[in-house]
Amino acid sequence: MKNNILKSPSYYKILIVDDVARNIQILGNILSSKGYQIAYAQSGSQALKIANNQDFDLILLDIMMPEMDGYEVCEKLKSDSKTSEVPIIFLTAK
């Protein structure tokens, strides 16, 4: 029988990527109150740098951002062997 020990939320690290600071604040407050470790980026290029230097269990990624939209960020993350397996959930106001 496999050992199915559930890990506490504090084990998991989530990267929130959004150009709107208020959105990051709301999501960050909700997730951190549940015990998750939170990091954030306010641009696609910043997200790529952070994701390259830290390991994440999930990325919450805004689609509509200036300079580099969420689709482009996702494409770059999925093409990098270090981040290709990290699940991504898109966020959008559309």
Per DSSP, which regions of 18-79 are E strands? 37-41, 58-62
Q: Which of 44, 40, 54 is nearest to 82 (CA)?
A: 54
pLDDT tens, residue by residue, 19-74: 999 999 999 999 999 999 999 999 999 999 999 999 999 999 999 999 999 999 99
pLDDT higher than threshold 50 for residue 93: yes
**Residue 13: enclosing H or E segment and its boundaries?**
strand 13-17
What is d(CA 91, CA 16) in angstroms, rounded to the nearest whole number?
Answer: 10
Amino acid at site 66: P
CA-to-CA distance for 77 and 32, rounded, in angstroms?
A: 24
